[in-house]
Amino acid sequence: MVHILNYWEQSPEDLLVASNADEVEIKINGKSIERKRGTEFPNLLHPLFKFSLGDAYQPGVVEALAYRHGEVVAREELRSPQEAERLQIVPDDASIVADGADATRVVVYALDKNSSVPPYEDRRISIRVEHGTLLGTPTAHLEGGRIAFYVQAQEGQQQPIAIHVSAEGLTSGEANLAAEAETGALPFAPFDARNASLKFVPAKW
């Protein structure tokens, strides 16, 4: 993996990158700047990579390429953020159980024309949920261009849960969550299913 830890704006003096690869190369608008091994926090299993940019910063695209045994194994691009244009809704789950208790987290992002998240976007959004329950307030402020809340299914409902978010000056966002009928069986995550045969013995005190 490789992940750029800075925002790409306002000419950062240094660029920090996290990776579990041997080397990382930085390119700015397609031009290679430097390729090196991790040097920061050397006691970590995978030290961070620090790149001193000097005057190399340019608005546009910065790319980190991770190398292992001389081959590129991962890459990440980061674009200079522009003005926010629209809202996007990303639920953690595509469906929840209609038992009156199941819920899922929903994240709202403000996106610019490049589908990047403007890091200082903090305008207020309005949230509306149909055929479900919003666990929180109907208005909230974006923090770092995003905000999360929870949505819960109503007991016995059959209609999809419709989520609407809006903000002044931005294109609204919409998403639907399917409501699954309650079966009485507990839903298992992949980890639970793999370990369903485990037996737990009560402790004796």
Place of tokens 């013995």: 201
Is residue 185 very low, low, confident or very high in pLDDT (cuts 50, 70, 90)? low
Is pLDDT of 47 > 50? yes
* Distance between CA atoms of residues 88 and 174, nearest Å: 7
pTM above 0.85, yes or no: no
Least confident segment among 113-122, 124-133, 182-191: 182-191
Q: Tell which residue, 141, 84, 164, has the closest CA to residue 117.
A: 84
Q: Which domains does the chain have, with CATH numbers?
A: 2-79 (2.60.40.10), 86-180 (2.60.40.10)
Predicted local distance difference test score (pLDDT) of residue 56: 86
Q: If you average pLDDT over residues 61-84, what whole number do you get?
A: 92
Give the tokens for residue 128. 């509306």
C-alpha 133/C-alpha 153 separation (Å) is: 6
CB 154 within 8 A of CB 100: yes
What letter does residue 40 receive in the DSSP assignment? B
Q: Does pLDDT of 84 surpass 80?
A: yes
More confident residue, 185 or 143: 143
**Percent of the chain with pLDDT strictly greater than 90:** 59
Give the pLDDT mean for 61-69: 94
In this model, does residue 55 exceed pLDDT 60? yes
For residue 1, what pLDDT is reported? 95
Please spell the DSSP secondary structure of 126-152, one letter per residue. Answer: EEEEESSEEES-SEEE-BTTEEEEEEE
pLDDT of 97 above 80: yes
Residue 195: pLDDT over 60: no
pLDDT at 192: 56
Give the per-residue pLDDT at 200: 46
Residue 30 has pLDDT above 60, yes or no: yes
| Cβ neighbours of 30 (radius 10 Å) | 8
